[in-house]
Amino acid sequence: MDPTSAHTQTEPPATSGPTNAWRGKHIFRSRTHRMVGGVSGGIAEYFGVDPTIVRLAFVISAFFGGAGIVAYIVAWLIIPEA
């Protein structure tokens, strides 16, 4: 048996750069889980969680200097609609 052929059979195939499990996954504002702008529904769909959890996070963070309101408005402006 040729030692070079045995060596190449056991090596994994070479990849060109790091692999990314999130590649090709994009976030959009939801059309189906929408109450105001679809931001919470879109974030929930992206992460695979219940939209109510994301909405509660925005509401709770709104009590800390209005950060939730500002974050929601910014997300509404930069996240495209589905």
| pLDDT attached to residue 25 | 81
Q: Which residue type sits at 50?
A: D
In terms of phi and psi (left: phi > 0; alpha: psi -120 to 50; beta: otherwise), the region of 20 is beta
> pTM value?
0.64
| pLDDT attached to residue 78 | 95
Q: Which has the closest alpha carbon to 34: 72, 74, 68?
A: 72
Cα separation, 15 vs 24, whole angstroms? 18
| pLDDT attached to residue 59 | 92
- The residue ranges of the chain whose pLDDT is under 70 are 1-23
Domain boundaries in the chain?
Answer: 26-82
